[in-house]
């Protein structure tokens, strides 16, 4: 019996390695995710915004805790952006045609990013205005 093309090209599932090798593998997966996230225009723009904020913080001479909170908020933005991208990729794979459910999933992911960006902007604005 002849196998179909899809059967022959099926990827082989490799069992996870243990111990420190598992940590090394996980780091590799994270770097692959970072490379994929970098392909997103939104993520690149968020990185540019972080650089602009850092320059503004340097000029303003803000306190160390401002830097720490801003860095944590920036990391959260990238994390939520990565999750939003994952939702979009999966949604496009599962529902390549237009559907209200797919639209809702994408809109909710976008809302999550938008809310976190709003928190970032408010924090940075309050810091630069000297309110906090």
| 44 carries a ligand binding annotation | yes
| 104 carries a ligand binding annotation | no
| 25 carries a ligand binding annotation | no
Residue 40 DSSP one-character state: S
| 26 carries a ligand binding annotation | no
Catalytic option among 7, 63, 81, 97: 81
How many CB atoms lie under 10 A from the CB of residue 73?
18
The answer to whether 56 touches 70, Cβ cutoff 8 Å, is no
Q: Any long-range contacts for 16-20 (C-beta under 8 Å, 24+ apart)?
A: none
Helix axes 19-38 and 41-60, enclosed angle (nearest 10): 90
Per the annotation, the verdict on 81 as an active-site residue is yes
| 95 carries a ligand binding annotation | no
| 63 carries a ligand binding annotation | no
Annotated binding-site residue numbers for a divalent metal cation = 40, 88
Annotated binding-site residue numbers for substrate = 42-46, 81, 110
Question: Which residues carry out catalysis?
Answer: 81
Annotated binding-site residue numbers = 29, 40, 42-46, 81, 88, 106-107, 110
């Amino acid at each position: 019996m002849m196998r179909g093309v899809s059967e022959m090209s099926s990827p082989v599932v490799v069992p996870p390695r243990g111990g420190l090798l598992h940590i090394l593998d996980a780091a590799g997966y994270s770097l692959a995710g970072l490379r994929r996230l970098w392909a997103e225009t939104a993520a690149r723009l968020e990185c540019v915004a972080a650089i602009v904020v850092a320059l503004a913080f340097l000029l303003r001479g803000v306190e160390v805790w401002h830097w720490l909170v801003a860095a944590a908020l920036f990391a959260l933005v990238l994390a939520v952006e990565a999750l939003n991208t994952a939702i979009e990729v999966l949604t496009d794979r599962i529902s390549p045609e237009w559907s209200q459910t797919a639209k809702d999933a994408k809109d909710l992911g976008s809302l999550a990013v938008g809310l976190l960006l709003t928190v970032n902007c408010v924090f940075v604005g309050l810091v630069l205005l000297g309110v906090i």
